[in-house]
Amino acid sequence: MSEAAAAAKSEAGPRPEILGPRFVPNGIFVRRIGRHGALLAGGGMLVAILLASIFASSISPYDPIAQNLRNTLQPPGWAHPFGTDNFGRDVFSRVLHAARVDIAIGFFCVLFPWIIGSVVGGLAGYLGGFVDTLVMRTVDTFTAFPFLVMAIGVIAVLGPGVTSMLIALTLSGWSIYARIVRAEVLVARKSDYVLAARAMGYSNARILLRHILPNVVTPTVIFAVTSMVLVILSTVTLSFLGLGLAPPTPTWGTMIAEGRNFIFMAWWMVTLPGLAIVVVGLALSLLGDGLADLLRGQGSR
Amino acid sequence: MTIEAAPLLEVKNLSKTYAGRGAFLRSLMGRAGPPLRAVDQVSLEIRPREIVSLVGESGSGKTTLGRAILRLVEPSDGEIRFRGLDVRALSQKRLRATRRDMQMVFQDPYSSLNPRMTVRATLEEALRVHRMRPADQIARRVDELLEIVGLNPAHAGRLPRDFSGGQRQRIGIARALSVEPAFIVADEPVSAVDVSVQAQIMNLLLDLRDRFDLTMLFIAHDLSVVRYVSDRVAVMYLGRIVEYAKQADIFARPRHPYTQGLLRAAPRADPLHRSTTVAIAGEPPSALNPPSGCHFHTRCPIATDLCRQTRPLLAAAASEHLVACHHADHAVANWGASAAANP
Amino acid sequence: MSALLSVRNLRTRIPTARGPLTVVDDVSFALEEGECFGLVGESGSGKSMVCKSILRLPPTQCAMTSGSVEFAGEDLLAMSDRDLNRVCGRQISMVVQDAIAALNPVLPVGRQIGEAMLEHGIASSSADARQRSIALMRKVGIPSPERRVDDYPHEFSGGMCQRVVIAAALACAPRIVLADEPTTALDVTVQDQILNLLRALRAEFKLAVVLVTHDMGVVAQNCQRVAVMYSGRFVEVAATEDLFRQPLHPYTAGLMNCVPDIDAHAERTRLSPILGGPPDPADPPSGCRFHPRCPLATEQCRTGEFPLREVMPGRFTACVRHADLAAAGNVWALASAESSA
């Protein structure tokens, strides 16, 4: 022991040196994406659909609202890959142009509820007490309210259109995000890194925005991506019920609604817009799954 | 160190009580469950530049006491004075400013760092919020802090997950140091790191104490760690301090039967002297339903009726040696006899 | 005397996204009847994986284990799953670190202790198993076992759960218990009780125990022989007294020097810790895996192979500089003498 003491006193014993990380993370992110086929496939499909819808005017062979009454109800063929409808409009061109509207509506009808729900749920979870009770009872009320009744109510007051649709979907959608974020915040609030932030003397706003929310958004982002297709389906429902955009602007919902009358004569009028919805839904589901794997792997041990 | 130095931190009769399980429903029905006294009228003084260890088994309330002193959990009763300032009377705003002087190092280096913030962002945030340096010097200060704790500043841009447990603990220490505190509560800072890394972290804390004149409350359950780092040691059992003395006195002449049992129970790295008897029988009782009188009487080899009835108060048994035992003299005689038998 | 259990050239590899990890690398040892054999090392050294590999319980299905584990004339690694099930739990049982997680939360503890006895035909009926469970619970020091046999795991403390797990491991009167950090999650006073219990049971049932731990004190107090593991390999194997008197590997010496002495008569001197941290299992250092942290490492340690060799009767080390280490007596004194020279 005395030798050890001598060694230690002479400071010849080892001292902690400047240490480096165990793992060099370069390229890990890239490799992770490579490992996730779902993410690549979903992302690829979605990018292709987005490009197709953005450049719809250049790609589509016909004007989506130009009628050609001499050429109605043509089955799919070389001239009209998806056939034509009862006004002789090219279904392929209409599907492409509708994608623009539907995806944009789907995106914003997810974005607004996501932001509102996250902030409200975050506050409820972090502040607790009276605020939490108030918010959660409001959430219960909104969750219990039937979607169509709310949508019809909003549209009855404001009239059909994009704005009404956005408001109706935001009103019905925010509560689920509030619920998810609140539950996650309740967990994160008890975590050591939040305790550490409190010990550092940080303000409540800083702790909530910088330390809690970035660590709880992951499940809401995944939910938002996968629920986008449900939102698109809701807009389809509203359009189908005639509560959506006014004709002749093509949306998949209105196309299906119009095609309904010709379902036995011209199956393509209903089926091919429906197929577009399925493809978008598949892309979003794959993307959501892939994101879930990717984001859950992040920030963990 | 002068013995008469005014204490940096004074804790008087500090208690933390949690409402019993299902307390809300039961109180509606008029029968509240028993409260859980995690910390039970604890008094403690810590002098400047001193490292005081708080040692006890799980459930002894040592972590709660450490957090209550920083008001990370709100104490139920009692007094905390830091440099004479009444910490419990501070408004939330003043308290946040005071946190600069009183810092914390956490047990779990994995969960105590924000997983989405780089090391640089974590340290910069602390420096900015408390305006520790002008904006143009912050980056340099981050590098400096990392060097102080033995990490390579070139790795500041990485996330916590890229570091090993010991390295993360160094990051946590750098974060605590960034605001240049006078007092640090270190809550089991080495129990979650590898054995070979424990000594590095302990040496780092000792060096930092000397370099920055730090005062520390060091929470631990491992007596060998406690012996290595502390100047004084407080032993806790079921929310109460049962013995408080200088490190050398605790290890050479423990006066409380519980301290003696803890010392006997620790396995010695010496195959030639093997223990053959159980040091303390039984399990720690539930804090929800603690034994009457002296909490330790259910496991104590020398307990009497007095112990079952009356709570022994922490009183001076020798110079700077406080003990809460009715039979401390008897206990110390026992210890002397057993030490003579097994040198 | 032939050994009760002979492990030869055990190697376990786990496939991961970053390539296969060799978590146990060419490990050989023999366990004698009634012996307590210590396996000591830090987290990630592969010590738990040795136990799991012996019973073919690695964490994933695709883990690859090679070598041989001979027990009663048969190779556990080569036998069919059905045959292995007759050994596992019957002749060789396991006690794990996290007892609370090891118990099924929705089954009374008595049923869990009795399960193996029914499975292996030790108990004739469930009433018999219940009676035997009560007897075992009394044996492992659970108070009033008649009352507690029908309680659920959450009604027991951590220490009592560990006693239940030990009772379950002993249910079929096995010859070997693989104890994987059985006391790491427990308080020191309860650890002391459990280790005393294991010692008493070992004597009573002539059990051989493989005791996995990271605590040199636990090794010193309990084991006859000990193997020190580092990065998947054995770096030193010796009788416990010899190992503590004179470690012949710098890592062993470092491990002993990491833990301060709690005895009052020992001087409180500054510890000389091992530099750095444990190696990344996916990318172990070349040559001797300890060389980046070793105060005695020379050029030759960076390359080449360093198998465990018997350097004195009963003493095995992987360090090429063991003679220098033995002559100097103290690794840090030797290191400082060399750095100043």
ipTM value: 0.87
Rg of chain B, C-alpha, whole Å = 21
CATH of domain A61-299: 1.10.3720.10
Chain B interface includes C215 (CB < 8 A): yes
CB pairs under 8 A between B and C: 136
Number of other residues whose CB lies within 10 A of the CB of residue B41: 17
SS3 category, C278: coil
Structure tokens at B273: 């002297």
pLDDT at residue A8, as a whole number: 37
Q: Answer whether residue C99 shows pLDDT above 90.
A: no
Poorest-confidence range of B32-41, B66-75, B225-234, B302-311?
A: B32-41
Residues B15-37, mean pLDDT to the nearest whole number: 67
Report how far residue A226's alpha carbon sits from residue A285's, in angstroms, rounded to the nearest whole number.
5
Look up residue B296 and give its DSSP letter.
G
- Best mutation target among B60, B110, B191, B196 (most C Cβ atoms within 10 Å) is B196
pLDDT at residue C87, as a whole number: 87
Look up residue A19 and give its DSSP letter.
B
Q: Tokens 């080390």 belong to which residue? A: C317
- Closest Cα of chain A to B327: distance in Å? 37
Band of pLDDT at residue C59, cut at 50, 70 and 90: low
Q: Are the beta carbons of C187 and B274 separated by less than 8 Å?
A: no
Residues C42-50, mean pLDDT to the nearest whole number: 88
Helix (H) and strand (E) counts for chain C? 13, 12
pLDDT at residue C213, as a whole number: 93
Scan residues 234-253 of B and list those with Cβ closer than 8 Å to C.
248, 251-252
Q: Between these two residues, A12 and B182, which has the higher pLDDT value? A: B182
First-to-last C-alpha distance (Å) of chain B: 32
Q: Are the beta carbons of A22 and B163 separated by less than 8 Å?
A: yes
Q: Are the beta carbons of B164 and A211 separated by less than 8 Å?
A: no
Structure tokens at B91: 């408004």
pLDDT at residue A266, as a whole number: 85
Q: Tokens 């006895």 belong to which residue? A: C117
Which residue from B248, B271, B279 is facing C192, i.e. has the nearest CB?
B279
Poorest-confidence range of A7-21, B303-317, C62-76, C215-229?
A: A7-21
pLDDT at residue C115, as a whole number: 87
Residues B96-116, mean pLDDT to the nearest whole number: 90
- Closest Cα of chain A to C253: distance in Å? 11
Report how far residue A126's alpha carbon sits from residue A120's, in angstroms, rounded to the nearest whole number.
10
Q: C191: Cβ–Cβ under 8 A, 6 or more apart, which residues?
A: B265, B267, C183, C218
Structure tokens at B157: 């841009």
Residues B64-82, mean pLDDT to the nearest whole number: 94
- Closest Cα of chain B to A144: distance in Å? 27
Instruction: Give Dmax (Cα) for chain B.
Output: 68
Q: Are the beta carbons of C333 and A10 separated by less than 8 Å?
A: no
* Total length of chain B: 343
Beta strands in chain C (DSSP E): 5-14, 21-31, 36-40, 64-71, 74-75, 92-95, 176-180, 208-213, 225-230, 233-239, 309-312, 315-317
pLDDT at residue B47, as a whole number: 94
Best CA proximity match to C198, nearest among C227, C172, C226, C169: C169
Residue in chain C closest to B266 (alpha carbons) equals C188
Report how far residue B179's alpha carbon sits from residue B126's, in angstroms, rounded to the nearest whole number.
7
pLDDT at residue B28, as a whole number: 57
- What is the tens place of the pLDDT at every residue in C237-272? 999 999 999 999 999 998 888 888 887 676 778 888
Best CA proximity match to A128, nearest among A182, A207, A206: A182
Top mean pLDDT of B146-150, C90-94, C114-118 is at B146-150
Number of other residues whose CB lies within 10 A of the CB of residue A156: 11
Query: Average pLDDT, whole number, for chain C?
Result: 87
pLDDT at residue A296, as a whole number: 67
CA distances from B143 to B114, B163, B179 (A): 19, 17, 14
- Alpha helices by DSSP H, listed for chain B, are 23-28, 62-69, 92-98, 119-129, 138-148, 165-178, 195-212, 223-229, 247-252, 257-265, 305-309, 328-341
- Best mutation target among A193, A203, A216, A301 (most B Cβ atoms within 10 Å) is A193
pLDDT at residue C62, as a whole number: 64
- What is the tens place of the pLDDT at every residue in B203-214? 999 999 999 999
As beta bridge partners, residue C157 has none
Query: Average pLDDT, whole number, for chain B?
Result: 89
Residue in chain C closest to A36 (alpha carbons) equals C17
The per-residue pLDDT string of chain A (301 residues; one tens digit each, 9 = 90 and over) reads: 344 444 333 333 333 334 444 333 334 444 555 557 788 888 899 899 888 888 888 887 788 877 888 888 788 888 888 888 888 888 888 888 888 888 888 889 999 999 999 989 999 998 888 889 999 999 999 888 888 888 888 888 888 778 888 898 899 889 999 999 999 999 998 889 999 999 999 998 899 888 998 888 888 888 898 888 888 888 878 877 777 776 677 888 888 888 888 888 888 888 888 898 889 989 988 888 888 777 765 544 3
In this structure, the strands spanning B183-187 and B215-220 are parallel
B278: chain C residues, CB-CB within 8 Å: 192-193, 196
Report how far residue B152's alpha carbon sits from residue B229's, in angstroms, rounded to the nearest whole number.
26
Residues C91-95, mean pLDDT to the nearest whole number: 91
As beta bridge partners, residue C283 has none
Best CA proximity match to C194, nearest among C227, C168, C158: C158
Annotated domain spans of chain A: 2-35, 61-299
- Closest Cα of chain B to A137: distance in Å? 19
pLDDT at residue B35, as a whole number: 79
The vertex-C277 CA angle with C271 and C278, nearest 5°, equals 120
Report how far residue B79's alpha carbon sits from residue B14's, in angstroms, rounded to the nearest whole number.
6
